[in-house]
Amino acid sequence: MTWLRCIWLLLCLLAGQAAASTADAGSPAHPDCQATILSVHTAADIPEGRHAITAWQSVTLPDDWSRRGRHPGGSVWYRIDWQRACPSEPVALVLQSIVLAGEVFINDTPLWQDAHLSEPLSRSWNTPRYWLLPDAWLEPGVNTLWVRATSVAGQSLELGKVRIGSPSATQRHHEALIWHNRTLILINIVVSGVMAALFFCIWIVRREQTAYGWYALMSLFWGLFIANVLVTEPWPLLGTYGMARLNIVALALAIASFCVFTWRFSGRLLPRTERGLWLITAGVIAAQLLAPGTHLEQAQLAGILVLGTLFVLNGLATVLHALRTRAREHALLALCVMVLVLANVHDLLAVLAVIPTRAPISPYTSIVMTLCLSGILGMRHAQTMQRIARFNEELADGIARARAELAETLAREHALALSHARLQDRLRIAHDLHDGVGGSLVHMMASVELGEDSLERARVLSMLKLLRDDLRQAIDNDASAGVDIPVTPQAWIAPVRYRYTQLFDALDVAVTWQIAAQWQSPPSALQCLALTRYLEEALTNVIKHSHAQRVLVWLELPAPNVLVLGIEDDGTGFDVAAVRQAGLSVGMNSMRTRIARVGGTLAVDSRPGRTTLAARVSL
């Protein structure tokens, strides 16, 4: 995997840089002209000054006063006697660290001091110092380096290693210390900050991926914790104790966030364990905030041991979970966590003087493991994006198939609708021919049968024109929607009344017309046409089948938006149910369909001596 190879290359570069720095620091240009440190003594500061001190103790550097027992705070002096081998050669001095603040003298000449030697103290504890010593300040024989270290009760009070020698070798040693003590830490902070910002943005976009959010929190708190190493002055409103408390609080939140991150990443839901974790974290934070300054060191040590135990246990649990699941992502996470655990345990034991003091390895492993963890998260994100891409492709294919099926279905439905429309048109034309042209033909046939042997030319022409008008109306039925509606019901029914009154008079059938005088709410043009065809078909059926002597046609408006048009005769009648069930009456079905098409209903009642049809239409 490319990202693993890149991280391995970075690790090799860091290791090479460290080895080169160590090699450069250990290879002086003039080994015969190196200064010799004759003795190192220390003693507590007294009001009379360092020259009045008599209780000097011989020590070796680095020296930590807290190992001699709890100190009450204040200052201690270190007297370092040294002698240079080549008086004519320039000499340089490197101090690895002064914890927490201090000042330096060459013989009795002030060389340097921190900005604040009283609370709030400056923080020189992780800042290597380099000076080129003026030759005028030096004695021909033995010289004395005076270093005053200042701290507060319950906090470290110590002096790091001292190196005196040629400027070139000493400067290389100083650069190596700067690389180890500050540059690596700065790289850690930058990497942690970048990763925190990156994964926080990913979490903002994908809120369901909570592992990214916890990783961002962990990186943020870890950056705050290691930033304490680079700070040379206390933050506003925080003294030495405040900085120490803040440091452990940031560490506690970083470890707790890291534990939750590993659980979220591994897909483990541990609600009780998580509540216990946060309770322990809250207890550690409360102990740091509530402990008095004189007992803060013990609270810090206890907090570090508790947090370290949580870190180690979580690492072991992560390894066991990876062994159970055998997932590649879980195995990589377990490997990174165990490397971090081993590196931090090594450095903790070195700080506690359980093992011989060596250069810390966590600055190196933190960078590499942070990048490794980021690479694992990036790999998971890439896999998630690949799954999303595959899902999108499958979704697009599914949509394409659905579109094709829908298009095919719509094509079939369109064909069916077209076929249905054609059938409806045929049925409509058949009904119109039956109700209109058929009625006109019946009218003509009856006129011929009942008339004189030879009909007048004008009458025949009138019949043919009537037949033509009915045929034209059947063909151009849709155009009826734009026809003007007669002003009154009587004006609307007058043409039908005129035609059929002549026929009924010739057949010696008495017909009565009871028509409302005015519309309450006029019907539409299509309703007028449908009612006209219905009336024509009903009267034609009376002439053809009923053998009636009396016929009643009525039109009433029982409600403002209701019209009822009825026909009643005293003919032979018929069995309505039998005719409907057998489907024998084309005219009856045509009338029912036509009335239903304009939002109405047709009621039929028939028995010998009385047949009634009533069409009820909502206007």
Scanning the structure block, which residue is given the tokens 């004008």? 458
Which one is the CATH code of 30-165: 3.40.50.10420, 1.10.10.10, 3.40.640.10, 2.60.120.260? 2.60.120.260
How far is it, in rounded angstroms, from Cα 606 to Cα 590? 18
The pLDDT assigned to 461 comes to 63
Q: What is the mean pLDDT of residues 249-273?
A: 91
Q: Which residue from 439, 432, 548 is spatially nearest to 496, judged by alpha carbons?
A: 439
Mean pLDDT over 11-19 rounds to 45
pLDDT (0 to 100) of residue 446:
63
Burial class (CB in 10 A: 0-12, 13-18, 19+), 554: middle
More confident residue, 525 or 420: 525
Region 15-43: mean pLDDT is 60
What confidence score (pLDDT) does residue 27 get?
A: 40
Of residues 32 and 408, more confidently modeled: 408
- Cα angle at 260 between 259 and 263, to 5 degrees? 90
Q: How far apart are CA 219 and CA 255, in angstroms?
A: 10
Helix axes 362-432, 240-266, angle to 10 degrees: 50
Alpha carbon distance 432, 422 (integer Å): 15
For the chain, give the percent of residues with pLDDT over 70: 82
Q: pLDDT at residue 448 above 70?
A: no
Query: What length does the chain have?
Result: 619
The DSSP H or E segment spanning 385 is helix 362-432
Strands in 426-502 per DSSP E: none
Q: Is it the case that residue 608 has pLDDT exceeding 60?
A: yes
Question: Confidence class of residue 584 from pLDDT cuts 50, 70 and 90?
Answer: low
- For the chain, helix, strand, coil in percent to 5 are 60, 15, 25
By C-alpha distance, which of 416, 617, 407 is closest to 529?
617
CATH class of 484-618: alpha beta
Q: Which structure tokens are listed for 235? A: 């933050």
Q: 183 in the Ramachandran plot: left (φ > 0), alpha (ψ -120 to 50) or beta?
A: alpha
* Contact between 378 and 3 (Cβ < 8 Å): yes
Single pTM value for the model:
0.58
Residue 324, token pair as written in the block: 């159970």
Say how far apart CA 592 and CA 336 lie, in whole Å. 85
User: With bands split at pLDDT 50, 70 and 90, how would you rate the model's confidence at 570?
Assistant: very high
Residue 270: predicted pLDDT: 87
- Cα 90 from Cα 92, distance rounded (Å): 7
Average pLDDT estimate for 224-247 = 84
Above 80 in pLDDT, residue 460?
A: no
Tell me which DSSP letter residue 121 carries: P
**pLDDT for the residue numbered 273:** 92
Averaged confidence pLDDT in the chain: 82
pLDDT score of 250: 94
Question: pLDDT of 158-213, one tens digit each?
Answer: 999 999 988 999 999 999 999 888 888 888 888 888 888 888 887 888 888 888 89
Predicted local confidence at residue 12, as pLDDT: 44
pLDDT for 15? 44
pLDDT bin (cut points 50, 70, 90) of residue 274 is very high
Domain spans of the chain, in order of start: 30-165, 195-391, 484-618
- Choose the weakest-confidence range: 90-94, 302-306, 446-450: 446-450
Give the integer Cα–Cα distance in Å for 229 and 366: 14
Q: Which long-range contacts (CB under 8 A, 24 or more apart) does 341-350 make?
A: 341/311, 341/312, 341/315, 343/369, 344/308, 344/311, 345/308, 345/312, 348/304, 348/308
Q: What is the pLDDT of residue 456?
A: 64
What mean pLDDT comes out for the span 44-55? 88
- What is the per-residue pLDDT across 528-557, written as a single tens digit (0 to 9) for each? 888 988 998 899 888 888 889 999 999 999
Question: Looking at the predicted structure, is the pLDDT value of residue 28 above 70?
Answer: no
CA pair distance 452, 440, nearest whole angstrom: 19
The confidence score (pLDDT) of residue 19 equals 42
Q: Model confidence at 419, in pLDDT bands (50, 70, 90)? A: confident
Cα separation, 79 vs 146, whole angstroms: 5
Question: Which one-letter amino acid corresponds to residue 420?
Answer: H
Give the integer Cα–Cα distance in Å for 64 and 78.
12
| pLDDT surpasses 90 at 597 | no
CA distance 219 to 189: 9
Torsion of CA 565, 571, 572, 576, to 10 degrees: 0
Cα–Cα distance for residue pair 567/604, rounded to 1 Å:
10
Q: Is the dihedral of CA 79, 84, 90, 92 positive or negative?
A: negative
- Which residue matches tokens 């700080």? 351
Q: CA 607 to CA 40: how far, in whole Å?
A: 139
Residue 236: pLDDT band by 50, 70, 90 thresholds? Answer: confident
Per residue in 307-342, pLDDT (tens digit) is 989 988 998 998 999 899 888 888 888 888 888 888
Residue 92 has pLDDT above 90, yes or no: yes
